Structure 1
């Protein structure tokens, strides 16, 4: 199948409407019918401001980068990005073409 690999980058402690942003994103995607999403916490990373965030003893908890990703139909990815825009949430994202399916199904 053809679709979109949508990757959204944020920080572990980022919040929207009282919820952790990654949880809010998963819930929004679910209500849009996106069949699944995953959240990954990075060991280290930096963004456009060049500030390095790493998971170590001296780093403040919750500042590590988080990747939220979905494989979806293009219209579903558009709808999720529209919800982010409408909510006034500023995050970096990457949208890539994707071939996807399930291996081993008969």
Structure 2
């Protein structure tokens, strides 16, 4: 199957609708029928604003997070529309990929 690998970059303390934004994205993808998503947590990094983010004891709420998922073109369009209709501004990357399973179940 052809599609995209999409990664969203956020922080632990960023929320939408009283929920961590990373979790909201994963739940929306699941509602849309996306086959899977993975939450990656980072130890440290910095964002577009130059602000440092870390998972150390003093900055646990500001821990950098990534949500990654393989999407068909239709799923990608639906998820991006959902983000837009909810006014969510988030940095992402999108790469063209081929994906599937190595054998039948």
- Partner residue of 2:81? 82
Which runs of structure 1 show a deviation greater than 4 angstroms over 4 or more consecutive aligned residues?
A: none
TM superposition shift of 1:24: 0.9
Give 1:31-70 correspondences, 5 Å limit. 31-57=31-57, 59-70=58-69
- Partner residue of 1:24? 24
Q: Over the residues paired in the alignment, what is the CA RMSD in angstroms?
A: 1.2
Rounded Cα–Cα distance in structure 2 between residues aligned with 1:33 and 1:11: 25
Instruction: Structure 2 unaligned segments of length 5 or more: list them.
Output: none
Task: Determine which structure has the larger helix proportion and give its number.
Answer: 2
Instruction: Structure 1 unaligned segments of length 5 or more: list them.
Output: none
TM superposition shift of 1:60: 2.1
Deviations 1:47-75 (A, max 9, x none): 11111212223x32210110001101011
